């Protein structure tokens, strides 16, 4: 079985270059979780929470919502135990605002929600993007729109993550299909948030959130952690919070500490004060977009299964990828040349990776639990869009191997 990971789990956690980039430090001291090195049997939501604790989350504000509530529940117990803070807010709007503030003071921060709560977070999400605040937001997807179907899974928020907040911007969104990869993905989300000073969304579905399975917590230091890049400017010397270094990074100064500076959602100059100067605006608009979009290849991460000689390629992400993996695995025993590309980075869209994966394939089948939110992006990325098909379910049920085999037969011209 081929199980090639394109890029190590830590790929993209450090910028391409730059003299004084933040090193990776092992988890130590208060950042350890008390569960490191242990094997657990826990639901996906707990794996996500454990990943955040491993990464050193120091503040969590949230409002419980099915199917993400377990994350807040765990944080409410574990953070105070470590001397950190948990606040249950009055709603999701304030939850995201609270973690924006806490992040500025120097903490690694997180909130967790589901579609309806994520809708309420869109305004502050835009603020986090504009003010370049490291945030980790977990969206455990349930059926939508509106309150939809709280207890059933879906992948309907894929494009909301990308374009839910207004204005030109970019965002990083990661996903996973097993508890182990979800743990690693959550750690990676914190690393990317700190590296790029941006909100990072961890996006997965109810199925994984409530699926209990094995999770081995790595020892401290086993996974690299990126810590906050802080300014070396001493007290009494001018600190420019938004003066971009030549490596694209902006060292931070803990808010309320030795430097006084302004933070705003308006277009701003290097001091953080509002500006409508066309050059300033143009530079900032490109900066917040390019710092992510121009690194799409570097940020792209996926798992490949049997892709070397695949004639038909499945592309999937999140828990439906497990169904596709099962079908591919069984088909190989029968000599059918199927392969699977399981995306783990969904935004920025890994266009080159998708194009390369589909180049030699006769057909590509996109497997997802929505009306084709990733399908259309994949069609745009490949050389022959007419060879791309969609296999989906939107009824809240898990996609079964039978569902995929049926689509496979149709694609092969064998009828149902």
Shortest distance, CB of residue 210 to another protein, whole angstroms? 6
Q: Are 381 and 389 in contact (CB under 8 A)?
A: no
Rounded to the nearest whole angstrom, what is the least distance from the CB of residue 318 to another protein in the complex?
Answer: 12
Whose Cβ is closer to another protein: residue 214's or residue 352's?
214
The 3-state DSSP class for residue 81 equals helix
What does the alpha-carbon distance between residue 156 and residue 394 come to, in Å, rounded to a whole number? Answer: 9
- Binding region for another protein (CB under 8 A): 39-41, 67, 151-152, 206-207, 210-214, 319, 322-323, 325-326, 329, 398, 400-402
Q: What are phi and psi of 12, to 5 degrees?
A: 85, 0
Helix, strand, coil share (%) of the chain residues, nearest 5: 35, 20, 45
d(CA 124, CA 364): 37
Question: How many residues are present in the chain?
Answer: 416
Nearer residue to another protein within complex by CB, 245 or 405: 405
For residue 33, the minimal CB distance to another protein (Å) is: 17
Q: Chain centroid to CA 224: how far?
A: 17
CA-nearest of 129, 107, 89, 124 to 255 is 107
Closer CB to another protein, 142 or 295, in the complex: 142
- Our CB check for another protein shows the closer of 44 and 241 to be 44
User: DSSP E strands: which ranges in 209-257?
Assistant: 212-216, 225-226
- 146 or 276, CB closer to another protein? 146
Nearest distance from residue 259's CB to another protein, in Å? 48
**Nearest distance from residue 121's CB to another protein, in Å?**
24
Q: Which residue has the tokens 């909301």?
A: 160
Least gap, CB of 15 to another protein (angstroms): 34
For another protein, the closer CB: 75 or 207: 207
């Amino acid at each position: 079985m081929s199980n090639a990971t394109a890029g190590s789990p830590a790929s993209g956690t450090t910028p391409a270059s730059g003299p004084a980039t933040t090193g990776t430090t092992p988890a130590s001291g208060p950042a350890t979780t008390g569960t490191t090195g242990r094997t657990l049997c826990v639901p996906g939501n707990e794996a996500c929470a454990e990943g955040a604790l491993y990464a050193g989350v120091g503040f969590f504000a949230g409002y419980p919502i099915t199917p993400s509530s377990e994350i807040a529940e765990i944080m409410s117990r574990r953070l105070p135990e470590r001397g950190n803070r948990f606040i249950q807010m009055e709603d999701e709007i304030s939850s995201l605002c609270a973690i924006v503030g806490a992040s500025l003071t120097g903490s690694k921060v997180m909130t967790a929600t589901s579609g309806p709560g994520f809708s309420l977070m869109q305004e502050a999400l835009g603020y986090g993007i504009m003010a370049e605040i490291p945030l980790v937001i977990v969206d455990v997807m349930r059926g939508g729109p509106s309150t939809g179907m709280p207890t059933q899974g879906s992948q309907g928020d894929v494009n909301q993550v990308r374009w839910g907040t207004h204005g030109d911007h970019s965002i990083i969104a990661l996903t996973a299909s097993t508890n182990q990869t979800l743990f690693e993905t959550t750690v990676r989300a914190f690393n990317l948030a700190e590296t790029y000073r941006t909100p990072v969304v961890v996006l997965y579905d109810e199925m994984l959130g409530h699926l209990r399975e094995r999770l081995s917590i790595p020892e401290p230091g086993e996974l690299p952690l990126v810590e906050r890049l802080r300014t070396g400017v001493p007290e009494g010397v001018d600190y420019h919070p938004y003066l971009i270094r030549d490596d694209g990074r902006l060292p931070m100064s803990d808010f309320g500490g030795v430097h006084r500076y302004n933070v705003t959602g308006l277009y701003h100059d290097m001091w953080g004060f509002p500006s409508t100067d066309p050059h300033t605006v143009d530079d900032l608009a490109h900066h917040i977009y390019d710092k992510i979009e121009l690194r799409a290849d570097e940020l792209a991460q996926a798992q490949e299964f049997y892709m070397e000689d695949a004639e038909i390629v499945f592309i999937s992400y999140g828990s439906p990828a497990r169904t596709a993996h099962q079908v591919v695995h069984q088909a190989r025993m029968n000599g059918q040349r199927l392969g699977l590309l399981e995306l783990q980075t969904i935004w920025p869209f890994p266009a080159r990776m998708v194009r390369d994966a589909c180049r030699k394939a006769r057909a590509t089948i996109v497997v997802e639990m929505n009306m084709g939110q990733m399908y259309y992006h994949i069609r745009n990325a490949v050389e022959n869009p007419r060879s791309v098909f969609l296999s989906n379910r939107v009824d809240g049920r898990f996609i079964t191997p039978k569902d995929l085999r049926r689509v496979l037969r149709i694609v092969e011209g064998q009828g149902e």
